[in-house]
Amino acid sequence: MALHDHRRRVHRRRAHIRIPDGSRRDDRPVGSAGDRRGERQLLFGGERWGIRTDFASSRIVNTFVYSNTGFYGGGLYVYSGAPAFTKVPAWNNRASRGGGFFIDNNASVTLSSDNAGFDGIVAFNSVSEWGGDICVDEPSATVSGLRLYWNTAYQNGGGVFLNYLYPSIKVTFLLNDISFNTAVIGVGGGVGSRHTQNLLMALNLINANTAGTTYASGSSGGVYMENSAGLLSLNYINNNVVTGTNGIGGGAYITGTSDGLALEHNTVQSNSATSTGGGLELAMGAVARVDANLIVSNTARAVPGVSIDEAGAVTFTNNIVAHNIGWPSYPGGLQVYGTAARVVNNTIADNSRLGIYLQDVNGAVVANNIVYGHLTGIDLADQPAFVLDYNDVYANIITSTNYVGVSPGSHDVSVDPSFVGSGDLFSYYHLQPTTPLIPTSSPAWAPPDDIDGQVRVACNTPGADQIPCRYLALPEVQR
C-alpha cells in the first residue's frame, strides 16, 4: 500500500510516543486516544526516538516510523516487556545503535509483517556504531517477514547486530530479506553477532550486503558470527562483498570459541572477499559443524571457497564446494591451516588451481571426499600426523598422481565419479546410479546421512551424495 495514495487515512504525529508499564494491551495503533482503529500512523521528526516502550506488552500495528533520531533506537526503543510490532515500517531513522529498532534489557519482542507490501520494509536507517536497522542487546526476539534494505552502520552489523545474548535468551530470524546493507569500517554487512548463544536463523535471504568499504580489513559482507552458538539453516547467502585490502569472509565469517554453532543446508553463492574465504571463513578458534551446504561461484584473492584457518573443533561434512575462483597461485576450493578439522564426505570440484590445501593439520581427518577437476587435487605443505584415506581424487591435471607433498591414502582411488552433469550446481554434482564409487569409502568416518538427508549405509559412497547399494543377483539353485 503506497503511503502517498492514502493520505487521508494517515494520522500524522510529530515527535515521539512513550508507552509506560502495562499500557496499550489492545490492538489499536499506538497514538493519541482519539486514533481510529485500523488507521496508519506516521511518526516523524522526533528528536529522541519514534516509539519507546518500557516494561509494556502492547501490540503496535500499522505505524510508519520515519526520520526520527535517538541515542539508542532511532525509530523504536524497547526496554524490557513483551511488545509485538506488526506492519511497522521504519525509514530514515538515526541513532548510535539500532537505527530502526533497538531492543534492550530482557525484553521479549516480536517484529513481523504478514504481507510483501510496504508494511514489511525497514530501510535507509543509519547508526554510528552497531545495527544499522536492528540492534538486539540482551533480550529475546523473533523477527520474521521483514525486508531490511539499504541500512548503514559505521561500525558493525549493517542490517542487524546481536550483542551478548545468553543461552536462556532465544533470538529467531525467519523468512526475512536482509539486502543492500553496509557496515562501513567493521564487520557483518548483513548480520553481525557477538556472544549470541541461542540463535535460530533460517530461511532468510542475505543478499548484496557490504562490509569494510573504507577500512583495510573488514570481515564478512554477509554474516559475521563471533563467539556465537545456534543454527543457521536454509539461508541464501548471496552476492555479499567484503572490501578493503584484507577483507575476509565474503559470505560468512565465523570466529571465537563458543561451542554449538551449526551451518546446515545453506546456499553460499557469488560472494566476494579481497583476501580469503570468498564463501566462508572459519578462524581464531571457531568451533562449528558445517554440513550439507552448497558453496559455489565465490571469489577471493586467496581461497575463494572455504578457509579453515587456526580454528577450533570444526566438522566439515556433506558440502558441495565448486566453481570458486581466485588468483592462480592460491587454493581455490578448501584450505585447512593449523586446525585438526574433520573433512569428510564432501564434493570439492572445478575450483581454481587447487582442491584441498593442508598445512599444520596434526590430528585432522580428510576422508571420503571427491576432489575433482583442479590443477592439483590435494597439496600438503608439511608432514603432520593425520588421516588421509578413502578419497576419490580424479582429473586434477598438474601431476599424474593428483597429489603434491603427500602420497595417496591406502584406500584412495582415482576414477571418474560420474556426476549427473546437468541442472543447477546442486544437481550437477550429484552422482549417477551407475557410479563406480559404490562402495569405495569408509562408513567408519561417514556422517549418518548425506546432503539430501538420505541415510548412509554400509556401502557408503564418497562425496556429498549417497547412492543406494547395488546387490549382485544370486544364481537360482536347481533342486
CB 35 within 8 A of CB 60: no
The pLDDT of residue 214: 58
Instruction: Give the model's confidence band at 40: pLDDT under 50 very low, under 70 low, under 90 confident, else very high.
Output: very low
The pLDDT of residue 218: 64
pLDDT per position as a tens digit, 291-315:
999 999 999 999 999 999 999 999 9
pLDDT per position as a tens digit, 117-144:
566 788 899 998 889 889 988 778 999 9
Predicted TM-score of the model (pTM): 0.89
The pLDDT of residue 359: 96
**168-172, 230-234, 467-471: lowest mean pLDDT where?**
467-471
- For the cut 60, the answer to whether the pLDDT of residue 47 exceeds it is no
- For the cut 90, the answer to whether the pLDDT of residue 2 exceeds it is no
Between CA 56 and CA 58 the distance in angstroms is 6
Helix (H, G, I), strand (E, B) or coil at 218: coil
Helix (H, G, I), strand (E, B) or coil at 4: helix
3-class DSSP string for 241-259? EECCCCCECCCEEEECCCC
State how far Cα 8 lies from the chain centre.
Answer: 42
Mean pLDDT value across the chain: 85
Q: What distances in angstroms separate CA 442 from CA 318, 341, 413, one per listed residue?
A: 14, 17, 12
Cell of 143: 523477527
The pLDDT of residue 30: 38
Looking from the CA of 183 toward its CB, the CA atoms found within 13 Å total 41
The pLDDT of residue 271: 98
DSSP string, 413-426: B-----B---SSHH
Dmax (CA) of the chain: 96
Instruction: Give the model's confidence band at 281: pLDDT under 50 very low, under 70 low, under 90 confident, else very high.
Output: very high
Between CA 195 and CA 197 the distance in angstroms is 6
pLDDT per position as a tens digit, 356-399:
999 999 999 999 999 999 999 999 999 889 999 999 999 998 65
The DSSP 8-state label assigned to residue 216 in this structure reads: T
* Average pLDDT of the residues in 418-422: 96
